[in-house]
A and B are shown apart, each in its own frame.
Chain A
Amino acid sequence: MTSPTVPLRLFVNGDRHEIQVEPRKTLADALREDCGLTGTHLGCEHGVCGACTILVDGKPARACLMFAVQCEGMSIRTVEGLAPDDETLHPLQQAFWDNHGLQCGFCTPGFLMLAAGVLEENPEPTEEELVEALSSNLCRCTGYQNILKATQCAAEAMRE
C-alpha cells in the first residue's frame, strides 16, 4: 500500500534538504520526520489549531494542509530558524518570554511564526488587526492576553 517515493528539494531556514517522500506526505510530517525539525507541532491536522503554522515564501501557512511535494524549491521558515543565533532570541521570542506569553509551549512555535508573518507584512498593525490575525491559532493555556501583549511589544521592538 506504500506508494512510491519521489525526490524532493526543500529550502528550510536557508538550508537545502534533499529528501525522498511519498507524494501523500504532508509538509508537516516531512519537516518533522525527514528534515528533523520537530518544532513545527501538530495539534489537529485539519488546519484549525495553527500549531503547525510556518512561513512559505514569507506567508503564514498550515504545514498540515500542504503536501511536501507542493513545496519543491520554495523557501520555508520554521521556528528553528527564527532566532539569529544561540545567544540571541528573535524579538518575538524575547517578547513572549518577557511577557509570559506561553505556558506549555506547544502552540508557541505556531504563534511565533504566525506573528512573524503578520508583522513582516504589516509592521504597525492596530490592536484590532492583530486580534483578527492571531485569532486564527489556538492556545489552551494562556487565555491569549499575554500573547497579544507580547506580539505588540515585539512589533514595537522590531520597528526600532
Chain B
Amino acid sequence: MIGGSARRVEDPVLLRGRGRFAADSTVSGQLHLRVVRAGVAHGLLRGIDTTAALAVPGVAAVWTAVDVADLPPIDFRLTALDEQRPYRQPVLARTRVRYVGEPVAVVLASSEYVAEDAAELVEVDIDPLPAVLDGSGDVVPWLTAEEASWGAQREIAMGLGSESAEIRLEYGDVAAAFAAAHRVVEVDVTIGRHSGVPLECRGVSARVDPSTGVLVVDGAAKVPFWNRDAIARMIGWNPRDVHLREGHVGGGFGPRGELYPEDVLVPLAAVRLGRPVRWIADRQEDLVSTNHSRDQRHVLRAAVDETGVVTALDGQFWTDQGAYVRTHSATVSSLTASMLPGPYRVASYRVSGRIRMTNKTPAGTYRSPGRYEGTFARERLMDQIANELGLDRLEVRRRNFIPVEEMPYQRPIQAMGTELIYDSGDYALLMDKLEERFELARLRADVQRRRAAGECVGIGYGWFVEKSGLGPYEGAEVEVDTTGAVTVTTGTSSVGQGVDTVLTQVVADVLDVDLDRVRAVRGQTDRFGYGRGAFATRQSVMAGSAVLKAAEAVRVKALTVAAEHFEISPDDLEVVQGGIQVVGNADARISLGEVAALLEPQHANRLGLTPGLLAEEWFHCDHMTYPYGVHVSVVRIDRETGGPTVERYLVGYDVGKALNPTLVEGQITGGVAQGLGGALLEEFRYDEAGQPQASTFMDYLMPTMHEMPPVDVLVTEDAPSPLNPLGIKGAGEGGVTAAAACIASAIDDALQSPGFVTRTPVRPDLIRAHLATTGTHH
C-alpha cells in the first residue's frame, strides 16, 4: 500500500461534481459582500461617499476604514522580521491606497448582483500620487511616521523608506576567493512577476451558529489553525469559539489560504450584522488581490578556478514585494538567500537580498518560493561559466556538485529558522541515471543534427536542490470503530494534491485494511488540536510520519487486546485483512471491529487499557529534508514569429521514498506546467501609472494542453531521508523549480547565443528582436 500507485480516494466525489468548493454552499438569509477596490496605484484617500450605495434596496451595510478602525493589521505567519511590521496591510485602506485592487470599502447586500450594483455607486475620492514600480531602483520614502507606527502597532518617530528589509548571509572568505580567482563570471537576470493562480477564485463564508454562539467560517485552506487563531485575535474572540472548516479547495500553490483582508472582513460582518455573510472573488479581483510572487532581479558574481569550480559566490538580489508585507514577511527572500548555492559546494558565499516596496499587488510565496527565482539566476550563471571557460554545461555542474561522500552536508547558514543540512543525496548518480533512461546522448546528437540542417532548436538543463518537510511537528489520531471502519484525523489541509489518499494508504498499510475502509478528516479546527498546514511540501513528511506512528500504536493496542482474548502471546499473532489472527491458524481470528468493541470503556477498564481502539501520536522534526533534481528540455524556435515551442521535457527527481508514485509524477508534471508558464507566458505587467495589464485570463496567459510538451519523469529513491521513518522527501515543488532555468538554457542553445536570456517570461517579441539584431532570421 505504501509505495503503491493507488487511485485517489478523493476522486469519485469530484468526478461527479459533488465537491464542496468555497462557492458551493449557501444558506438562507445570507448577505453577499462585495469589495470596493482602489482604481489607482497610489494616492491619498480624501473621502468615500457611500450614500448612493446605502440607498439601494437590499443593501444592509457599507463599511470603510473608520468602521473597522479597531482592527489591527494582518500579522505575519512565517519568517517574521520585526523591521517589516510597519509595512503590514490594514483590512481596509486607511489614509492612502497603494495598489490597484486594494480594498477601500465593502458593501453587504441581499444578493451578489445587488452588492455589485451598489459597489459601483460607492464614490472614492483619491488624490493620485506617482507610482513606485521599480523594485531594484532607488529607495524612496514609503511610510509616514503615523503610517509606520500604525503598521507596527508601536510608536515610530520617523517615516520609513521603500526597503522593508535586507537579508544577509555569509560564510567562508569571499574576498580572498575573488582575489585568487582564475576568472570572475557575472550575470544580471530578472525573473518576472507571476503567481499560482489557482483555478478556483478565493472565497469565504461565515455565520454565527445561534445555538452555540460559535463563529463558523467556511472556505479555509492551507493553514486553517493559524488563521483560526489570527481571526479570533483580530476580532477579539476566543479561539475556542471560532471554527474554520476546509471543504474542497481548487488549487493552492502557495497564495491560496493565506490570511487576506476579506478573510477577516467576512467573519467580522457575520458577527456584527448577525447574519450569514459570504464573499466569492471574481477572477479580475482575484488577479489583483491574491498574492503575486517571483519578481526578483539577481546580480550574481562567481569566482571560478581554471577547471570551472566555483570558489565563491557573491550575490545581490532585489525582491519586488508590492505594496504591503503580508503573512509571509521575509519568507521568499530568505529562502532565495539560503537555497541560492543549490547542489554546488561553493566554498565561500555572500548574499544580500533587499525586499523593496512598490505600488503593485503584494507578493508572497508560490510553489518553490525563492528557489524558482534563485535557481534561474544560479543556473544562468553556471551556463555562463561553461560558456566563458569553453566547457560543457553539464560538466561544469558535475565538477561543482557536493559529492555523495560529503552527505549529510551542512552549509553554515540557516533556512526557515533551521540549520541548513542537506540530509542525503547523490547528485552525480541521478544525472547518470537520467542520461541513461532518456538516452540524452542521442537526444543531444539529434538536436545538433537538426540545427545543422537549419532548424532553430536547442537543449537546456537546470539543476536544483529543493527543500521539504518543514517541521516542527504534526499529529494524527487513528481510530477504529466497532465495524472496523477507520478514521484518521489530522491537522493537515488539502489544496487538491491528494493528501487524503497518501494518509489513507499509510493507515491501510499498517492495519491491512482496504482504502475505502479509511476516512481522512482534516482541515477542521474543531476536530484536532493543532496543524501547521499545507505548505513547504511538508505534509507527507510530517503528517505521513505522524499517521504511521498512530496507526502502529493502534496496531500494537489491537494486538494486546487480541492476545488477551486468545490468551496467547502477541508475538504469535498477525494482522491480516483488517483482523488479527493466530499465526498459522486463520480460524482463530478476531476482526479489528470486534477488538474495538472489546475496548468499550467498562471492558477496557477491566483490561487496564484506555477506552477505544484509537491512538494519537506526534512526529517532531527540527530539520528539513532536501530532495533534488534536474530538468532537461528541448525547445524549438520559429524564426518568423520568435515563438518558442517546448518539444520535450524530462525531469529526474529523487524523493527518498515515494508514498504513491503516480501522485508524485502528477505533482511533478503539474509543476512543470506552472514552471513553463512562468518561463514563457505568465506575467503581471503594469503600465507606467501602475495599472495592471493582466487582470483577466485574456492577458494573464497560462499554459493550455497545446503549450505542454510530453513530460517524462524519472522518480528515484536513491537518497532516502534519515530524518523520518519512511525516508520521505516531499514531491510538491520539484516539477517547477528549474523550469525557467532549463527553458532559458535551451533557448540560448537554440539561438546559439549564450547568455541571451536574462529575463522571464521569454516572450516571442524578445526572441524576434534578438533574431533581427543577429541577422539569423530568414
Which parts of B1-44 form the interface with A (CB within 8 Å)? 7-8, 10-12, 14-19, 21, 23-24, 26
Contacts of A118 in B (CB 8 A): none
Which of B21, B666, B673 has the most C-beta atoms of chain A within 10 angstroms of its own C-beta? Answer: B666
Within A79-104, which residues are at the interface with B (CB < 8 Å)? 79-80, 82-83, 89, 93, 96-98, 100, 102-104
With known contacts A105-B11, A132-B706, A138-B199, A45–B16 Cβ distance under 8 A: no
Stretch in B336-344, B484-492, B493-501 with 4+ CB within 8 Å of A: B493-501
Binds A, one of B179-187, B233-241, B249-257, B430-438: B249-257
A144 and B673 in contact, given A49-B199, A135-B704 (Cβ under 8 angstroms): yes
Q: For residue B697, which residues in chain A have a CB less than 8 angstroms away from its CB?
A: 44, 46, 48-49, 138
B698 at the interface (CB under 8 A from A): yes
What is the minimal beta-carbon distance from B696 to any residue of chain A, in angstroms? 6
Contact between chains at A2 and B705 (CB < 8 Å): no
Number of A-B contacts (CB under 8 A): 183
Question: Is A56 an interface position by the 8 A CB rule?
Answer: no
- Partner among B496, B666, B704 whose Cβ is within 8 Å of the Cβ of A138: B704
Partner of B16, one of A1, A41, A83: A83
Best-buried of A25, A83, A143 by chain B (most CB within 10 Å): A143
A69 within 8 Å of B by Cβ?
no
**Across the two chains, which residue of chain A brings its CB closest to B668?**
A143
Q: Does B705 lie within 8 Å of A106, measured CB to CB?
A: no
Nearest residue, chain A, Cβ from B672: A143
A39 contacts B698, C-beta separation under 8 Å: no
Cβ–Cβ contact A93 & B200, under 8 A: no
Nearest CB in chain B: distance from A130 CB, A: 8
The answer on a CB contact under 8 Å between B708 and A144 is yes
| Chain A nearest Cβ from B684, distance in angstroms | 16
Report the minimal beta-carbon distance from A151 to chain B, rounded to whole angstroms: 10
Question: In the complex, what residue of chain A is closest to B256 when comparing beta carbons?
Answer: A104
Name A46's closest neighbour in chain B (CB-CB).
B696
Is B282 an interface residue, CB under 8 A from the partner? yes
A89-B15, A96-B15, A140-B702 known; A43+B199 contact, CB < 8 A: yes
The residue of chain A having its C-beta at the shortest distance from the C-beta of B55 within the complex is A1
A10 at the interface (CB under 8 A from B): no
Collect the chain A residues with CB atoms within 8 Å of residue B283's CB.
43-46, 49
B667 (CB) vs chain A CBs: closest residue = A103
Task: Report B573 CB to chain A, min CB distance, Å.
Answer: 36
A141 near B8: Cβ-Cβ < 8 Å: no
Residues of B within 8 A of A32 (CB): 23-24
Q: A138–B11 Cα gap in the complex (Å)?
A: 19
Which residue of the partner chain, among B17, B201, B670, B703, contacts A141 with CB atoms under 8 Å?
A: B670
Report A125-152 CB contacts with B as 1/0, cut-off 8 Å: 0000001101111111111111110000
B662 CB-CB contact with A under 8 Å: yes
Chain B residues near A139: list those with CB within 8 A. 199
Q: Does A109 contact B (CB under 8 A)?
A: yes
Asked whether B172 is an interface residue with its Cβ less than 8 Å from the other chain, the reply is no
Q: Which residues of A contact B741 (CB under 8 A)?
A: none
Asked if A61 is at the interface (CB within 8 A of a chain B CB), the reply is no
Tell me if A93 and B249 are in contact (CB < 8 A).
no
- Chain A residue at minimum C-beta to C-beta distance from B707: A135
CA gap between A97 and B8 in the complex, in Å: 7
Chain B residues whose C-beta falls within 8 Å of the C-beta of A80 in the assembled complex: 16-18
Interface residue from B12, B248, B253, B663 paired with A97 (Cβ < 8 Å):
B12
- Residue among B199, B250, B498, B666 facing the most chain A CB atoms (10 A cut-off): B199
- Known interface pairs A2-B57, A2-B113. Does A138 touch B15 (Cβ–Cβ under 8 Å)? no
Bound complex: CA A38 to CA B20 (Å): 8
Cα–Cα, bound, A141→B663 (Å)? 11
Q: Check if A104 sits within 8 Å of B248, measured CB to CB.
A: yes
Interface residue A112 (Cβ < 8 Å from any Cβ of B): yes
How many chain B residues sit at the interface, stated as a range, is 35 or more
Q: Give Cα A85–Cα B702 distance, bound, in whole angstroms.
A: 35
How long is the Cα–Cα vector from A97 to B338 in the complex, in angstroms?
39
**Known contacts A97-B7, A144-B708; is A106 also within 8 Å of B200 by CB?**
yes
Question: In the complex the two chains form, what is the Cα distance from A140 to B698 in whole Å?
Answer: 16
Quick check: A143 and B496 within 8 Å, CB to CB? no
Contact A89 B12 (CB under 8 A): yes
Contact A140 B674 (CB under 8 A): yes
Q: How far is the CA of A78 from the CA of B15 in the complex (A)?
A: 12
Task: Identify whether the interface residues of B are mostly helix, strand, loop, or mixed.
Answer: loop
- Chain B positions within 8 Å of A132 at CB level: 706
User: Which residues, 105 to 161 on B, are CB-close (under 8 Å) to A?
Assistant: 111, 113-114, 117-118
What residues of A have a CB within 8 angstroms of the CB of B113 in the complex? 2, 22, 24-25
Q: Is A42 an interface residue (CB 8 A)?
A: yes
A155 contacts B by Cβ under 8 Å: no
A143 touches B498 (CB 8 A): no
B710 within 8 A of A: yes
Rounded to whole angstroms, the CA-CA distance of A59 and B45 in the bound complex is: 50
In the assembled complex, the CB of B28 is this many whole angstroms from the nearest CB of chain A, namely: 12
The reply to whether the CB of B58 lies closer than 8 angstroms to some CB of chain A is yes
Q: Hey, which chain B residues are within 8 Å of A136, CB to CB?
A: 704
* Residues in chain A near residue B553, CB distance under 8 A: none
**Cβ contacts under 8 Å, B197 to chain A:** 140
Within 8 Å of chain A (Cβ to Cβ): is B56? yes
Contact between B57 and A146 (Cβ–Cβ < 8 Å)?
Answer: no
Does A107 interact with chain B (Cβ within 8 Å)? yes
Q: Does A51 contact B (CB under 8 A)?
A: yes
Contact assessment for B17 and A79 in the assembled complex, using a CB-CB cutoff below 8 Å: yes
In the bound complex, CA of A134 to CA of B14 (Å) = 19
Whether, in the assembled complex, A65 has its beta carbon less than 8 Å from a beta carbon of chain B, the answer is: no
Q: Given contacts A97-B7, A143-B711, is CB(A131)–CB(B14) below 8 Å? A: no
Contact A100 B15 (CB under 8 A): no
For residue B764, CB closer than 8 A to chain A, the reply is: no
A106 in contact with B251 given A97-B8, A134-B705 (CB within 8 Å): yes
Q: Mark A35-66, 1 if CB is under 8 A from B, else 0.
A: 00111111111101101000000000000000
CA gap between A98 and B12 in the complex, in Å: 11
Judged by a CB distance under 8 angstroms, whether B643 is at the interface is: no
Q: Are A41 and B698 in contact (CB under 8 A)?
A: no
A104 touches B198 (CB 8 A): yes
Instruction: Report which of B19, B665, B666, B669 forms a contact with A105, defined as CB distance below 8 A.
Output: B19
Chain A nearest Cβ from B291, distance in angstroms: 15
Pair A106/B7 contact, Cβ less than 8 Å? no
A145 to B696, CA, bound (A): 25
B621 to chain A, nearest CB (A): 26
Q: A49-B199, A145-B710 are in contact. Are A78 and B17 (CB under 8 A)?
A: yes
Contact B702 A138 (CB under 8 A): yes
Contact call A39/B705, Cβ cutoff below 8 A: no
Which of A44, A93, A138, A140 is the one whose CB lies under 8 Å from B696?
A44
B200 touches A43 (CB 8 A): yes
- Chain A residues with Cβ below 8 Å from B253 are 140
Q: Chain B: which residue is nearest A78 at the CB level? A: B17
- Which residue of B111, B196, B200 has the most chain A CB atoms within 10 A of its CB atom? B200
**Given that A43-B201, A138-B697, A140-B251 are known contacts, is A103 also in contact with B16, CB under 8 Å in the complex?**
no
Q: Which residues of B contact A45 (CB under 8 A)?
A: 282-283
- A81, B56: Cα distance in complex, Å: 39
In the bound complex, residues from chain B placing their C-beta under 8 Å from that of A137 are 704
Closest 8 CB pairs of A and B: A39-B17, A104-B496, A105-B14, A106-B250, A79-B17, A48-B697, A143-B669, A143-B673
With contacts A38-B21, A83-B16, A100-B663 known, what are 6 further pairs, Cβ within 8 A? A25-B113, A39-B16, A41-B21, A100-B666, A112-B15, A138-B702
Please list 18 pairs of residues, one from A and one from B, whose beta carbons are closer than 8 Å in the complex, sorted by A's number: A38-B17, A44-B283, A48-B696, A48-B697, A49-B199, A79-B17, A96-B11, A97-B11, A103-B498, A104-B248, A105-B11, A105-B19, A106-B199, A106-B248, A131-B705, A138-B702, A143-B666, A145-B708
Chain B residues near A (Cβ < 8 Å): 7-8, 10-12, 14-19, 21, 23-24, 26, 56-58, 111, 113-114, 117-118, 196-201, 248-253, 282-283, 495-498, 662-663, 665-666, 669-674, 696-698, 702-706, 708, 710-711, 735
**Interface set of A (CB-CB < 8 Å, partner B):** 1-2, 22, 24-25, 32-33, 37-46, 48-49, 51, 78-80, 82-83, 89, 93, 96-98, 100, 102-109, 112, 131-132, 134-148
